[in-house]
Structure 1
Amino acid sequence: MGFLNYLGRTTDRLNALGAIVAGAGLAAMMLIGAFDVLGSSLLGKPVPGAYELTETIMVGSVFLALALAQSQGSHIRVDAIVKTMSARPRHVSETVAHFCSVLFYLGICVFGWDGFLQSIDEAAVYQGLIGLPVWPGRLALAVGASMVVVQAARDGLRSASRCWR
């Protein structure tokens, strides 16, 4: 049980770190947008690459926060049917839902890592005012999807263990 507790604490810390980075990304997007608007309006000079920067940061912010949302059960779901179920069927349905999430995010994870490696190999950059590399956004997507796969699997195992209590 010691290893599972260690794994759980590590996962919780990584989820919190991902959410902190996501929050910093939201703040950065806000500042970039504000400076872009002010620069365009007052000086006639927008922030070069503001669109590309915001797009990359947004991907990171969304995917790095997903694992924490998964761990807290904060994703949107319809509880109308689940609330009418007794304990065992409810745990079974939660287990199935968590493992469906694992499969869904695993697909994103695989394609995310493939896209990241491909963008590194090709030295891909966004076509815009500045040559912003594509790989940071794809790395954030792949890391975030990997984190949510681990968290959903952890939640699924926890739900599965409740099915037989």
Structure 2
Amino acid sequence: MNKLIHWTEKAALAVCAGAVFMMMIVGAIDIVMGNVLGFYLSYKVELSGTLLASSIFLACSPVQRGNEHIRVDLFESSMGDKTKKATTFLGTLCGLLFIGLITYGLWHQAINSVMIFEVSADTSGFPIWPWKLACPIGASLCVLTMIGQLTQQIFTSSPLKEST
């Protein structure tokens, strides 16, 4: 099961990297065309926003698994082991609640988008629905990761570390 999760996360990160690369290429083309020809791409804002949202959610699970989120550990050095474990558990539980609610909403939005094969509102008409589908997939992977972390925190006494 662990290999399946890692393979799925690597596939999600590959799609994420492709989306970031596409954003970079479209941005570079827009800047060059704007400065050289005075013509800007009409779809750059909508495409970049769609790809950015997908990238964030697709990268969420590996970031959660590696405990690499931005965090403020101002008081952590003065906490005891039990307090650290409790705050880690509560943080993961709250994260699961919020990401779970976001995931629910993303699935609802993605299903509606797929049903109408949604395209961009600008003149390019590029398909948005695949990228709207990528968001709940990435968020669902993060939810599964958090469930695994909570299970590990409940049934083990050691602090949560990434296992490779």
Shared fold (TM-score, shorter chain, > 0.5): yes
Aligned equivalents of 2:24, 2:133: Cα separation in 1: 22
Change (3 A) 1:163 1:10: same
Aligned residue for 1:89?
83
CA offset digits 1:62-121 (Å, max 9, x no partner): 110111110111111222223322223322221121121111111111111100111122
State the 1:131 CA deviation.
1.5
**Counterpart code for 1:91:** K
Unaligned runs of at least 5 residues, structure 1: 1-5
| 2:17 paired with 1:12 | no
Q: Is the 8 A contact 1:59 1:140 kept in 2?
A: no
Work out whether residues 91 and 160 of structure 1, in 8 Å CA contact, stay in contact via their aligned partners in 2: no
Are 2:15 and 1:21 equivalent residues in the alignment? Answer: yes
Secondary structure of residue in 1 paired with 2:127: coil
1:108 pairs with one of 78, 85, 102: 102
- TM-score, normalising length from structure 2? 0.85
Does the Cα contact within 8 Å between 1:99 and 1:156 map onto a contact in 2? yes
Cα RMSD (Å)? 2.0
Secondary structure (helix, strand or coil) at the match of 2:126 reads coil
Q: Partner residue of 2:134? A: 140
Larger helix percent = 1
Q: Match of 1:74?
A: 68
TM-score when scaled to structure 1? 0.85
| 3-state SS, counterpart of residue 40 of structure 2 | coil
Q: Out of 116, 127, 143, which is 1:122 matched to?
A: 116
Distance 1:163 1:82, change over 3 A: farther
Aligned pairs, how many? 159
